[in-house]
A and B are shown apart, each in its own frame.
Chain A
Amino acid sequence: MRILKSRAARVITAAVAVGLVATGCSSERGEGGDKAGAKDTFVFAGAGDPGSLDPALASDGETFRVTRQAFEALLEHEPGGSKLVGGLAEKWSSDPAGKVWTFNLRQGVKFHDGEAFNADAVCANYNHWFNWKGTYQSSAVSYYWQTIMGGFAKNEDPEAPKANFKSCTAKDENTAVIEVNEPSANLPGGFSLQALAIHSPKALKEYEKQDATAKGDAITYPKYSQEAGTVAGTGPYKITKWNKGNKEVSLEAFDGYWGEKAKVKNLVFRTIDTEDGRRQALQAGDIDGYDLVAPADVKTLEGEGYQVPTRDVFNIFYVGMSQEVNPALKKPEVRQAITHAIDRENLVKTQLPEGGKAATQFMPDTVAGFSDKVKTYPFDTNKAKELLKAAGEEKLTVEFCYPTEVTRPYMPAPQDMFELMKADLEKAGITVKPKAMKWAPDYLDATEAGSCALHMLGWTGDFNDGFNFIGTWFAGYDKQWGFKDQKVFDAVNAASKVTDPAGRVDAYKAANDAIMAYAPGVPISSSPPAIAFGKNVNPPKVSPLTQENFAEVSFK
């Protein structure tokens, strides 16, 4: 017994000792052990891991947030705004037909691997993407190339879009000319996309050795895109390590950067996948900033002295109507009645962070082409009742789907927003059958298939062009809406083909007028997404396109 007693005692003593040492040492840490040393390291938390270190293979914000610090595109957006400005091209122009784009490139730019940036490098990139084969042609891999430039030199999938990219020519060392087959609403905005950022030609050669393969029956991303070492851009930071196990991508300031150099030497992006987790990590002092702040946390964090700037609105939240699933929605009076019945101002006031705006059309007022003359449908329950009566739909019943377990920049609290809208609709005499669904993939599948009579969704713009918003939904028949109104489709498509920028803005305004006269759904609001920073941080200019440049960050 004595032995046992002493063993038990030893075990307990050891456990207590570990506990004491742990608490002792950790309080040391809490007082600034590694925090003092962290001054040359800025840690920012996102909600998900990046998918790839080659932005050309990606279509998600978490990837672009990381790669944007290392790769630059021909065009960029002004810091903190959505206006297109020069990036790797100082100046750009197009011919009147919108088919020939000429870029005057910045000089003295070097890639992270020492290669020189010039017109040949630009063309090497565009030709690399245009000549993608096999798995790279899957839209899961090359979504943005296909959205902006259509298909490839040789389309392997008959369903792939027709190629719009024609050629890239290095006219001289500093002039690159990109030609397309047809004018497109996606240009010049598309030239600013991270997915079309310019890589070092030397790195591209390495990329080509490592095909993305369709091993088995799924897409396997090439090795270079999963490990730091090969990828090389021209940005203020270079990617040095991707520690997937620790959910951490490390970047280091690039000494040879052509512009203003990064103020903090090390930049680390870490993944903390819950909102609470990110907030608590900031409060614990483990990170210096994070994105996708829950609107409910904004006031708390501000009260505690953290900086929580909100970005300008660049998104739209709407209630979609699927006319094919509920034929009553084919009647214009019914759609108008629903539009009148929802109290948008109340939603904005109670559900959105400060700076949120009620919407009158399917694009925010920060996008060129926003119209002041659209038909509006102010909140009016009586008017809604009248319209329903006129349509013979006084006893209208609609199924209304809403997503669970999700927060989107345009839709901070889906369930609460749904409840308010449901109450509004019921006041107008509409019976609402709620249907809650898991966001991915159930809800997304259902809305895309047009199987919900009413549903709520939204969109954050990629660049400042109206087509990026209204073209997404109303350029042609889409199951989500289930209608064919040539007037609306023609107006939207006509706008996309106008090459003169001022003319295109007018055409978008006309398209917005046509859409809202038809009232296919209810544009509800635009919401300014918040981003949080520590008390000792000088934050970067926040961007409506969520394109923050972390080279601007410094510590106080």
Chain B
Amino acid sequence: MLRLVVRRLLQLIPTLLGLSVLLFLWLNRLPGGPASAILGERATEAEVARINRALGLDQPVYVQYWRFLKRIVELDLGTSTQTGQPVWDEFALRFPATVELSIAAILIAVVVGIPLGYLAAKRRGGWLDVASVSGSLLGICIPVFFLALLLKGVFAVQLQWFPSYGRLSTGLNATDVTGFAVLDGLLTGEFDASWDAIMHLILPAVALASIPLAVIVRMTRASVLEVLGEDYVRTAESKGLEKRVVRGRHVLRNAMLPVITAVGLLTGSLLSGAVLTESVFSFGGIGSFIRTSIDARDYPVLVGFILFIAMVYVLINLLVDLAYSIIDPRVRVH
């Protein structure tokens, strides 16, 4: 097991290195730089040249890349050209919001999706099956952005059941411990802050959960149906094994393998895919920050973010593999 972990972690190095080269080349082929984003309409040629000099953007690409690589080795992602603050600080400030949102979304997707998929498979052809299959199709078809706007328009603006934007209500003096607002409230005993944070999370999390939920329902359903038809299930049943044991130990356990992989990958994609949802709800996470970074050509932030996401993907894959080997010991043997 330890070997697996170490090997996968070592794989990170060439992956990130290769990615950093590609990213750098790509970003340097894009027109413009941060100078005019900083100066706006006030940009004059001389001013732009001066800022580019100050930011080191007048240097050849390989010099910039080399400097960047050196910093990466020192675990320094550089400074955001938009905010003038270290990229790590900006990430540390914003990532908890996105992680919190993604966890909430994946929780909704798993907690609702797996039982629903299971029940749909079990009662194949019944109304629940038809409803969940067509519902999940709809979930995949409706763009998350549109769903977010719709949810916000109805539940925040019209009905005013939920706040329309942000992570916490204005003026709520919540103590910041971990950056995860819900958790912080629980840790410090400020339950009103936790509750407030949950209220702010619900709409964006539901919007963000729509695709993973649909995927999980469909995958669980398909997988359970497949396993139900397997010989060993029939054998187990014909041997007179209790239905509960058959369904729980044989069916669900085996059916969960592909679903776990999907959950892992979906979690990774949520982190990078929260951009639009966060924008709709001005959520203050990494998503909205990346959007403004693209507008402002904030290269250090963009490069850092993409490398970070790559790292997250590799780590999530590692976790998925570990989970696999726990559920299905055969994986360890292979």
Q: Using CB atoms and an 8 Å cutoff, list the residues of chain A in contact with chain B.
A: 1-4, 8, 11-12, 15, 22-23, 25-27, 29-30, 34, 38, 41, 43, 48-49, 51-52, 59-60, 135, 138-140, 143, 157, 159-160, 212, 214-221, 226, 244-248, 250, 266, 268, 270-274, 276-277, 280-281, 283-287, 405, 438-442, 444-445, 448-449, 457-459, 472, 478-479
Q: Confirm or deny: B243 has a beta carbon within 8 angstroms of a beta carbon on chain A.
A: yes
> Which A residues lie within 8 Å of B34 (CB)?
441
B161 contacts A159, C-beta separation under 8 Å: no
- In whole angstroms, how far apart are the Cα atoms of A459 and B40 in the complex? 10
Complex Cα distance A303/B283, Å? 29
Q: Is there contact, CB below 8 Å, between B171 and A273?
A: no
Known: A244-B93, A277-B280, A441-B35. A4 touches B244 (CB 8 A): yes
Give the residue of B37, B45, B67, B297 whose beta carbon is less than 8 angstroms from that of A217: B67
**B45 and A448 contacting across the interface, CB-CB below 8 Å:** yes
Chain B interface SS verdict (over half): helix
Place the interface of chain B in its size category.
35 or more
B206 CB to nearest A CB, Å = 10
Chain B residues with CB under 8 A of A138: 50-51, 54
CB distance from A35 to the nearest CB of B (A): 9
Which residues of B in the span 43-83 have a Cβ within 8 Å of any Cβ on A? 43-51, 53-57, 59, 64, 67, 71, 76, 78-83
Q: What is the CA–CA distance of A221 and B79 in the complex, to the nearest angstrom?
A: 10
| Interface check B194, CB cutoff 8 A | no
Question: What A residues does B179 contact at CB under 8 A?
Answer: 245
Given known contacts A25-B195, A221-B84, A277-B282, A247 and B36 CB-to-CB distance under 8 angstroms: no
Least distance between B249 CB and chain A CB atoms (Å):
11
B197 to chain A, nearest CB (A): 10
14 A-B residue pairings within 8 Å (CB atoms): A15-B112, A22-B162, A22-B202, A29-B161, A34-B169, A140-B54, A214-B54, A215-B86, A217-B64, A218-B78, A277-B280, A280-B164, A405-B295, A440-B32
**Which of B2-10, B149-157, B230-238 lies at the interface with chain A?**
B149-157
Q: Is there contact, CB below 8 Å, between A41 and B78?
A: no
Cα–Cα, bound, A247→B96 (Å): 14
Asked if B42 is an interface residue, CB under 8 A from chain A, the answer is: yes
Residue contact A22 to B248, C-beta cutoff 8 Å: no
The one of A8, A266, A458 in contact with B41, judged by C-beta atoms closer than 8 angstroms, is A458
Q: Which of A12, A247, A266, A442 has its CB near the most chain B CB atoms (within 10 A)?
A: A247
Q: Which residues of B contact A281 (CB under 8 A)?
A: 164-165, 282
Establish whether residues B162 and A143, one from each chain, have CB atoms under 8 Å apart when the complex forms.
no
- Verify if B85 is at the interface (C-beta below 8 Å from A): yes
Set of chain B residues within 8 Å of A60, measured between Cβ atoms: 40
Query: Is B76 in contact with A216, judged by CB distance below 8 angstroms?
Result: yes
- Which of B47, B55, B84, B115 has the most CB atoms of chain A within a 10 A radius of its CB? B84
* B333 adjacent to chain A (CB < 8 Å): no
Is there an interface contact between A220 and B282, defined as CB atoms closer than 8 Å?
Answer: no
Answer whether A22 and B247 are a contact pair too, CB < 8 Å, given A138-B50, A245-B167, A246-B284.
no
Q: Do B37 and A1 touch across chains, with their CB atoms under 8 A apart?
A: no
Q: Which residue of B lies closest to A214 (CB)?
A: B54
Residues of the B chain whose Cβ atoms lie less than 8 Å from the Cβ of A38: 170-171
Q: How far is the CB of A52 from chain B (nearest CB, A)?
A: 7
Q: In the complex, are the beta carbons of B85 and A220 less than 8 A apart?
A: yes
Asked if residues B160 and A219 are in contact (CB atoms below 8 Å), the reply is no
Complex: A142 Cα to B241 Cα, angstroms: 79
Return the contact of A216 from the options B36, B78, B112, B199 (Cβ within 8 A).
B78
**Contact indicator B284/A247 (Cβ below 8 Å):** yes
**A441, B31: Cα distance in complex, Å:** 8
Q: How far is the CA of A139 from the CA of B165 in the complex (A)?
A: 35
Q: Is chain A's interface secondary structure helix, strand, loop, or mixed overall?
A: mixed
Contact of A59 among B42, B45, B85, B170 (CB under 8 A): B42
Which residues of B from 292 to 309 have beta carbons under 8 Å from A?
292, 295-297, 300
| Contact A250 B171, CB 8 Å, known A218-B79, A280-B152, A457-B41 | yes
- B55 near A218 with CB under 8 A, answer yes
**Neighbour of B296 across the interface among A22, A272, A440, A459, CB < 8 A:** A440
Query: Which partner residue on chain A sits nearest B248 by CB separation?
Result: A4
- In Å, the complex CA distance between A216 and B71 comes to 8
A-contacting residues, B271-295, CB 8 Å: 279-282, 284, 288, 291-292, 295
Bound-complex Cα distance A160 to B53 (A):
12
**Segment 114-170 of B: residues with Cβ below 8 Å from A:** 115, 118-119, 149, 152-153, 156-157, 159-170
User: Which residues of chain B (235-268) have a CB below 8 Å from chain A?
Assistant: 243-244, 247-248, 252
CA separation between A286 and B50, bound complex, in Å?
42
Using A22-B202, A217-B55, A246-B284 as known contacts, say yes or no to A444 and B40 having CB atoms under 8 A apart. Answer: yes
| B88 CB → nearest A CB, Å | 12
Q: Is the CB of A449 within 8 A of B45?
A: yes
Closest to B244 in A: A1
Contacts of A2 in B (CB 8 A): 244
Beta-carbon contact of A22 and B51 below 8 Å: no
Cβ-defined contact, B50 with A3, below 8 A: no
Instruction: Indicate if the CB atoms of B171 and A266 lie closer than 8 Å.
Output: yes
- Judge if B176 is at the interface, Cβ distance under 8 Å: yes
Within 8 Å CB of A272, what residues of B? 165, 282
Q: Are A245 and B85 in contact (CB under 8 A)?
A: no
Q: Are B36 and A218 in contact, with the CB atoms below 8 A?
A: no
A52-B84, A245-B284 as given contacts; A440 in contact with B36, CB under 8 Å:
yes
Whether A440 and B295, one on each chain, are in contact in the complex, defined by CB atoms closer than 8 angstroms, is yes
B38 within 8 A of A: yes
Does B198 reach chain A (CB closer than 8 Å)? yes
Contact of A217 with B162 at beta-carbon distance under 8 Å, contacts A139-B50, A277-B282 already known: no
Is B111 among interface residues, defined by CB-CB distance under 8 A? yes
